[in-house]
Amino acid sequence: MSERALVEPQHRTSRRVYRSDVRAARKRLAGQIRKTPVFHTTVAGPHGPVPVTLKLEYLQHGGTFKVRGSLNALLESGTDTEQVVIASGGNAGIAAALASARLGKACTVVVPESAPHTKVAAMWSYGAEVLWHGTTYAEAYSYATDLATERAALQLHAYDLPAVVAGAGVVGLELEEQVRGRPPVLVAVGGGGLVAGIATALGRRQQVIGVEPEGIPILHAALTANRPVDIDVSSIAADSLGATRIGDIGLDIARRYDVRSVLVTDDAIATAREYLWREFRVVVELAGATALAAVQSGAYIPADGERPVVVLCGANTDLAVL
């Protein structure tokens, strides 16, 4: 189970996130994160080789881009925060645990019973307290909220928090320095934090395209309805891209910067991940291969002379699945 969005009777009113917030996050994160490299190559497409630039974000500390957001949120909160609580079944919990350990804070991750053991083990490895509660992320989130109040702890959100989105957006600032021109950037969509952060960093200077499994089209559904829409999740990538609705911040930014949504099949995602291992010996989780699946399957067809950027966003997976 992933960071599935809780359907709340009263939705939070989130502060807007701007490029200035992302630039502030980059200063805050200096020396705390890796500036992950890019790799210019070609990949197999439906009609022959396709030039791409791979952003190797799976090399980030903790194997996930989410460390950027967690560290930014904790650094922004100041020194008064000694305890951190988050509800997560996956990478957000790993990121919060790592960030808390790095800054000497106690971290508790509330996970649903279905949380993958591989990811729970990673949370433990960074010293987090892991508490199981409920069978869904919504139940875990509700318990985490109560726990944060009881302990007077800082509660992080997996993707719908301004500091988390701004931290993720530093990926976009790095791409401006690493890649010539202004090619489109393809990004997998979970709750919307990464695609929103990158879109905020790049603004209208570059097209940002969200790539989603056909069985989890939260951005696509929200853009179609012009509001967040709850959906049923059905995809092999649900362990990390399984939010049931787009975050408020993610939808606001998608509207502001005309972020597109492209849908891919589960077969295309599995094929892309296997291809990365076979051709490049790159190990990513299914979410990490989702953006590449759009290029390889033909769901996204680059224009003549275009070399799109494809973000490989995470690598927390069981090696036995390859």
For residue range 271-305, what is the model confidence (pLDDT) as tens digits? Answer: 999 999 999 999 999 999 999 999 999 999 999 99
- pLDDT at res. 205: 92
Positive or negative torsion for Cα 50, 56, 58, 59? positive
Q: What is the residue-wise DSSP string for 65-112? A: THHHHHHHHHHHH-TT--EEEEE-SSHHHHHHHHHHHHTT-EEEEEE-
Whether residue 259 sits in one domain with residue 150: no
- Select from 275, 306, 308 the least CA-distant residue to 289: 275
* Residue 13 domain-assigned (yes or no): no
Residue in this structure with the two tokens 């990004």, named with its chain if needed: 187
H or E segment at 51?
strand 48-55
Spatial separation of the C-alpha atoms in residues 315 and 289, rounded to whole Å: 9
Range list of β-strands (E), 196-237: 208-213
Of 105, 132, 159, the residue at which a domain comes to its end is 159
Whether residue 97 sits in one domain with residue 236: no
Spatial separation of the C-alpha atoms in residues 122 and 313, rounded to whole Å: 17
- Select from 145, 57, 65, 58 the least CA-distant residue to 99: 65
- pLDDT at res. 109: 96
Spatial separation of the C-alpha atoms in residues 172 and 223, rounded to whole Å: 22
* Residue 12 domain-assigned (yes or no): no
Of 110, 143, 159, the residue at which a domain comes to its end is 159
- pLDDT at res. 10: 35
Spatial separation of the C-alpha atoms in residues 9 and 7, rounded to whole Å: 7
**Host domain of residue 143:** 66-159
Spatial separation of the C-alpha atoms in residues 272 and 290, rounded to whole Å: 7
Residue in this structure with the two tokens 């995809």, named with its chain if needed: 235
Whether residue 111 sits in one domain with residue 50: no
Question: Between β-strands 48-55 and 309-311, what pairing exists: parallel, antiparallel or unpaired?
Answer: parallel
- pLDDT at res. 319: 67
CATH code of residue 47? 3.40.50.1100
Whether residue 191 sits in one domain with residue 80: no
Q: Which residues of the chain have pLDDT under 50?
A: 1-13
Of 106, 138, 159, the residue at which a domain comes to its end is 159
Whether residue 73 sits in one domain with residue 59: no
Residue in this structure with the two tokens 């992320």, named with its chain if needed: 137
Question: Between β-strands 38-45 and 48-55, what pairing exists: parallel, antiparallel or unpaired?
Answer: antiparallel
Neighbour-count burial of 302, counting CB atoms closer than 10 A to its CB (0-12 exposed, 13-18 middle, 19+ buried): middle
- pLDDT at res. 136: 77
Torsion angle of the four alpha carbons 112, 110, 213, 263, in this order, in degrees rounded to the nearest 10:
140
Question: Between β-strands 38-45 and 129-132, what pairing exists: parallel, antiparallel or unpaired?
Answer: unpaired
| Collapsed DSSP state (helix, strand, coil) of residue 250 | helix
Whether residue 200 sits in one domain with residue 132: no
* Residue 3 domain-assigned (yes or no): no
Spatial separation of the C-alpha atoms in residues 102 and 94, rounded to whole Å: 12
Asked if residues 191 and 158 have their Cβ atoms less than 8 Å apart, the reply is yes
Torsion angle of the four alpha carbons 61, 72, 32, 104, in this order, in degrees rounded to the nearest 10:
-90
Torsion angle of the four alpha carbons 150, 155, 160, 165, in this order, in degrees rounded to the nearest 10:
170
* Residue 259 domain-assigned (yes or no): yes
Whether residue 314 sits in one domain with residue 194: yes
* Residue 1 domain-assigned (yes or no): no
Whether residue 169 sits in one domain with residue 133: no
Whether residue 203 sits in one domain with residue 155: no
Whether residue 309 sits in one domain with residue 202: yes
Whether residue 24 sits in one domain with residue 137: no
- pLDDT at res. 9: 31
| Collapsed DSSP state (helix, strand, coil) of residue 43 | strand
> pTM value?
0.92
